[in-house]
Amino acid sequence: MPNTMIITQEPVSSSVPPRRYRIGELVGHTGLSRQTLHNYTRWGLIREVGWTPGGHRVYSEEAFARLERIIKLKRTRSMAEIRDMFDAVYSP
C-alpha cells in the first residue's frame, strides 16, 4: 500500500470578512433589474447586510439563494403568496 499523506485544511481565520455584493453584481448574476431588487429588499424578501461608505447597499451570498427561490416560485405563485411564504419561513 503506498504511503498516503492526509492533508487537512486549516480553518479560515475569523478575521477574514465575508464576501459582500453590491446591487449591480446581483443584477449581473440574476438578470433581475435594480428596481426589482430594490422592491424585494423593501418587501423583506432579501436583506442588505450593510452599506458602502458611498451609500450603496451590500448583500451577502444568502441573497442569491433567496433570489433563486423567488424566481422559481414566480412561475406558479403571485408575489403576495411568495411574500407570505417568506414571512412564514424567514421571520425571526
pLDDT tens readout for residues 63-81: 999 999 999 999 999 999 9
- Tell me the domain boundaries of the chain: 21-90
pLDDT tens readout for residues 23-55: 999 999 999 999 999 999 999 999 999 999 999
Residues 31/67, Cβ–Cβ less than 8 Å: no
pTM, two decimal places: 0.74
Architecture of domain 21-90: Orthogonal Bundle (1.10)
d(CA 62, CA 79): 20
d(CA 27, CA 70): 14
